[in-house]
Amino acid sequence: MVCDLVSKLLEYSEITRIVVTFNVPERLSLPEDGRLDIIQNDSPLGFGANHNQAFQRVEEAFFCPLNPDITLLENPFPQLVAAMERLSVGISAPRVVSPEGDVEDSVRRFPTLLGLVAKIFGVSSGSIHFDACSEPFCPDWVGGMFMLFRRETYAVLGGFDEGFFLYYEDVDICVRAWRAGMKIVVCPSVSVVHDAQRDSHRSIHHLRWHLASMIRYFSKHFIRLPHVNRLPR
């Protein structure tokens, strides 16, 4: 997945740097290209810490945390950047679909305790429903598998909260962005494929990280969530 994604990214002329982090030692046959910047961790880091570390290598105007299980069928960046410029927002994201073509629940309302109960009982997942024909809109938060930041936005926010080892760091940074007056836009006409592994459904370690992150999120943001105006202006 990593090799395929890197090869695809290298086809896009506007991509001037790709930071690949080896969180644990492994061998990959990556393409030889001067735009590749490799980080070999001495010990495994969490999701947020790895992206914050990568950000220190970046001088470009935009920064895109990207999961290796993303497949790009077409270049998403021109439309995402154009939407950010047109709507003056700090973060953008595409429509994320499964390999079968179903829209994933990567665009949601902020989690609340009441919403968590509703999800447990199957009443509501908190997802915002839309399709490829929908107009760009401003959701509460977007999934961390693909988030495009203006460099200054990521810097002002201080990056991801490294207190979240895995899960909820994407929700947290979107809460902080809205509180700082920075909007988030989703461009439904732009799509990427996400071959989600759903490790928290199978691994006890991932489940523990998920629960620990949930507790941290609610302890941080239980009192007050920002008001979100979903219509971009």
Q: Which residue has the higher pLDDT, 199 or 9?
A: 9
What's the chain's average pLDDT?
Answer: 92
pLDDT value, residue 69? 95
Show Cβ contacts of residue 37 under 8 Å, excluding neighbours closer than 6 positions: 17, 18, 19, 20, 57
SS3 (DSSP) at 187: strand
Structure tokens at 37: 């910047």
Q: Using CA atoms, how far apart are residues 122 and 119, in angstroms rounded to an integer?
A: 5
Note the pLDDT tens digit of each residue in 108-133: 999 988 878 877 777 677 789 999 99
What mean pLDDT is predicted for residues 89-117? 92
Question: What is residue 199's predicted lDDT score, i.e. its pLDDT?
Answer: 55
Q: What is the pLDDT of residues 126-166, one digit of tens each?
A: 789 999 999 999 999 999 999 999 999 999 999 999 999 99
Q: Is the pLDDT of residue 100 over 50?
A: yes
Give the model's pLDDT for residue 6: 97
At 200, the pLDDT band (50, 70, 90 cuts) reads very low
pLDDT of residue 114: 83
The answer to whether the CB of 184 falls within 8 A of the CB of 231 is: no
Determine the pLDDT at residue 198.
Answer: 59
pLDDT beyond 60 at 47 = yes
CATH 2.60.40.10 corresponds to the domain 61-221: no
